[in-house]
Structure 1
Amino acid sequence: MSLPSQANVPKDGRQSETALLVARGTRRLLRSRRLVTLTELPLASGRRADIVALAPDATLLIIEIKSSIADFRADAKWPDYRAHCDRLYFAIPEEVPPEIMPEDAGLIIADGFGAEILREAPEHRLAAATRRSMLLRFAQAAAHRLHGLSDPEILSFGSL
Structure 2
Amino acid sequence: MSSQSPLAPGALLARGVARHLRSLDFMSVPEVTLPGRLRVDLMALGPKGEIWVVECKSSRADFMADGKWQGYLEWADRFFWAVDADFPIDLLPDNSGLIMADGYGAEILRMPDATPLAAARRKSVTLRFARVAAARHQGMCDAGITWGA
TM range (shorter): over 0.9
Letter in 2 for 1:119: R
Aligned residues: 144
1:136 lines up with 2:130 in the alignment: no
Which of 116, 140, 143 is the matching residue for 1:152?
A: 143
Displacement of 1:150 in angstroms is 1.0
Displacement of 1:122 in angstroms is 1.4
C-alpha contact 1:18 1:93 (8 A) present in aligned 2: no
Displacement of 1:96 in angstroms is 0.5
Q: Who is 2:60 aligned against? A: 69
Structure 2: gaps of 5 or more residues: 1-5
Separation in structure 2 between the aligned mates of residue 95 and residue 153 of structure 1, nearest angstrom: 41
Q: Who is 1:102 aligned against? A: 93
* Aligned residues with identical type, % of pairs: 42
Displacement of 1:18 in angstroms is 1.4
Q: Who is 1:33 aligned against? A: 24
Displacement of 1:17 in angstroms is 2.1
Letter in 2 for 1:113: Y
TM-score (norm 2): 0.92
Give the secondary-structure state (helix, strand or coil) at the position aligned to 1:154. coil
Structure 1: gaps of 5 or more residues: 1-10
RMSD of aligned alpha carbons: 1.3
Q: Who is 1:17 aligned against? A: 8
Q: Who is 1:114 aligned against? A: 105
Separation in structure 2 between the aligned mates of residue 57 and residue 45 of structure 1, nearest angstrom: 27
Separation in structure 2 between the aligned mates of residue 127 and residue 64 of structure 1, nearest angstrom: 22
